[in-house]
Amino acid sequence: MVSTLAVAVNCIFLSVTLYKCSAYISEAVNLEQYLQPDVIKDRHYFSNTSCYRPCDESAAPKICYYKWVLKDFKTMGPACRNCPTNATDCFRYHCITADGYERGLITVNQQLPGPSVQVCYGDRIVIDVSNMLQGQTSSLHWHGLYQYGSPHMDGVPMITQCPIQGMTDFRYDFKAGNYGTMYWHSHDGFQKQDGIQGAFVVRTSKTLDPNGHLYDYDLASHVIFISDWMHSSATEHFPGLKTHQIFQRPQSILLNGRGRYEVTGNATTFPSAVFRVTPGKKYRFRLVGGMCTSCAYQFRVQQHELLVIAVDGNPTEPVLVDSIHMYGGERYDFVLEAVEEVKSYCIHVKTVGNCKFMGLYGMGVLRYIGEKSTTVLDPGYEGFHSGKVMNIYNGTCFNSDEGVCLDQLVSLLPVSKRLTALEPDVTVTLSFGFHVFTLEELFQPRLHQRYFEPRPNHLLTSLVNNISYVAPNAPLLTQREDIKSSLICPANHDGTSRCPQGSGGFCECTHLIRIPLGAVTQFVLVDRGFGGINHPFHLHGYSFNVIAMGNFENGQNKTDIIEDISRGKLKISQSPILKDTIAVPAQGYAVLRIYTDNPGYWFFHCHVLYHADTGMGVVLQVGDQTEMPRAPEGFPRCGDFTPPVYKTRHYWTP
């Protein structure tokens, strides 16, 4: 495919309020010469055409081109031939085993997870998406990429773009402007749960990586993508069934698209994902949390310690742990030293915390080269001793021998003193939870209220500050003038939103929070839900410094936390880590800070799919509309079609 663009606009970010832009003539690009393979293999690492390569800060960046087709597909299809009888057939192209249960799904290039993006810092990413899903729109979000200067590429329907209509193409074109372990996924409906997601890795040179000296290899084959899996489509779990495929519970846990399914005590014997290491070497593993439900998960490698060196793509002072608790949208990088006996070891992932009662677990294999067998003993749900836990469930880190909390980690990136000052410029409190409907309230004539049912007789919608977010009728970033003013929540004088007067206990509207450019902004996230859930909140366009987190004690409330920080009573790290997704402790809080240097409309939402899709999110408007980078000419537009209706209509006749 040859790009038809011959005129480009070059914009340089000068300050928090000014972009310097200049138009220049550019030669049309033949993108086919930059096309990357659908499946990245380690042998591609030294290929001249591959963007998966040793990263060199002195080398020119590359154009990395991908062609992705979104389409309906199935597990255990014809491509799998005699799998699992013939284990080799399970690894054929386009054979998706999942946990061996046959079901329909939606895919990118007939893969689960979808294609992995492996590039270097500074590369230009061009992804052509062809939506072949019958009767479905879509959009793709690049989770962890800041999109400096390109907010229209963030991929959120009706915030940064129109959804991609069925049978049409859309070109994503942006720079890999920050490095680390990222993640891409659909941001349209429940498509992420049904298969449209994958890993996105932006490497930098080892000399620029503050932890680069700690490992020998950083391979594409050592990306571990964890997802929870259901035996029916995600929409069948919305609002939630009571008698079968109940509520929003997963049936299995997949590692790189492979898992186990247990029926009456017998698990299917499908091949597990295998990760190979050479004895005596140190490997960087990249762990991606592609889970969509509200469960917490524990990751452990049999007989091996994990040296955590990065969280959500951001380097941290190394911490040695035995296991990691993680939630949907989080990523952890760790170094594993292959110093044990040459054999195969079990990689074990299980539900913990609020989902411990499910007894669900999945397995992979760590295989030492030289060991002929890839089979490992099934350790059952209990698995192995947890030992010291990174990001321990519910933020309980009083005993340092048991757990390490995120606010205890030390960033290896410089942190401005403004971000750790006692008083920020702006403080925004976000209290999230649920509104519980009665039957009488929910089912009334002409009322079509969305809700979900996570357990018997719980009819819920999700809230932030008593507002259930609904998307506007056109994208905020590109068509603000087309949005009905009645859809936007009323604004308070401080830039926050509220429900209209007389709305009762909650309301539905487009929840906007307006924040000026160049401000140190503090977010206090407060959980007032139930069920012991640690809601993972993800911020688009930024990583935030984790200032504090924990459980409320002795009658504390959000005001106490804010006052304790301003008085210096609550200790703040002078080198707080950067993350873009954080699991807020149940009935607890998390205090985050950003410096608003990236203008745009940025979604801030719970990463539990059913919570986000029923309103647990807000949009941060950073800067005024005039301060935001403009989308390119010809960018797709959408909106309502509701022309006036007159009493008399003249019909065309031939």
Q: Tens of pLDDT along 493-550?
A: 999 999 988 777 789 999 999 999 999 999 999 998 787 899 999 999 999 999 999 8
- Average pLDDT, integer, range 73-83: 94
Burial (CB count within 10 angstroms: exposed 0-12, middle 13-18, buried 19+), residue 1: middle
Contact of 503 with 544, CB cutoff 8 Å = no
Q: Per-residue confidence at 265, pLDDT binned at 50, 70, 90?
A: low
Q: Per-residue confidence at 639, pLDDT binned at 50, 70, 90?
A: very high
567: CB partners within 8 A, 6+ apart: 422
pLDDT tens for 146-180 read 999 999 999 999 999 999 999 999 999 999 999 99
- Residue-wise over 570-607: b if at least 16 C-beta within 10 A, else e? bebbeebbbbbbbbbbbebbbbbbbbbbbbbbbbbbbb
Contact of 88 with 169, CB cutoff 8 Å = no
- Residue-wise over 417-437: b if at least 16 C-beta within 10 A, else e? eebbeeebbbbbbbbbbbbeb
Q: Per-residue confidence at 13, pLDDT binned at 50, 70, 90?
A: very low
Q: Which pLDDT value is given to residue 244?
A: 80
- Could you give the CA distance from residue 555 to residue 577 in angstroms, rounded to a whole number? 28
List the single range of 194-208, 226-240, 260-274 with lowest mean pLDDT: 260-274
pLDDT tens for 323-357 read 999 999 999 999 999 999 999 999 999 999 999 99
Does the pLDDT of residue 424 top 50, yes or no?
yes
CA distances from 212 to 193, 218, 472 (A): 34, 10, 44
pTM, whole model, 2 decimals? 0.93
Does the pLDDT of residue 410 top 80, yes or no?
yes
Q: Which pLDDT value is given to residue 401?
A: 67
DSSP assignment letter at 246: B
Does the pLDDT of residue 12 top 90, yes or no?
no
Q: Which pLDDT value is given to residue 398?
A: 60
Q: Which pLDDT value is given to residue 440?
A: 87
List the single range of 58-62, 225-229, 243-247, 277-281 with lowest mean pLDDT: 243-247
- Could you give the CA distance from residue 69 to residue 72 in angstroms, rounded to a whole number? 10
Q: Which residue has better confidence, 460 or 63?
A: 63
pLDDT tens for 51-70 read 999 999 899 999 999 999 99
Contact of 144 with 184, CB cutoff 8 Å = no
Q: Per-residue confidence at 261, pLDDT binned at 50, 70, 90?
A: confident
Instruction: State the amino acid at position 483 in one-letter form.
Output: I
Averaged pLDDT score across all residues of the chain? 90
Residue 605: alpha-carbon gap to chain centroid: 10
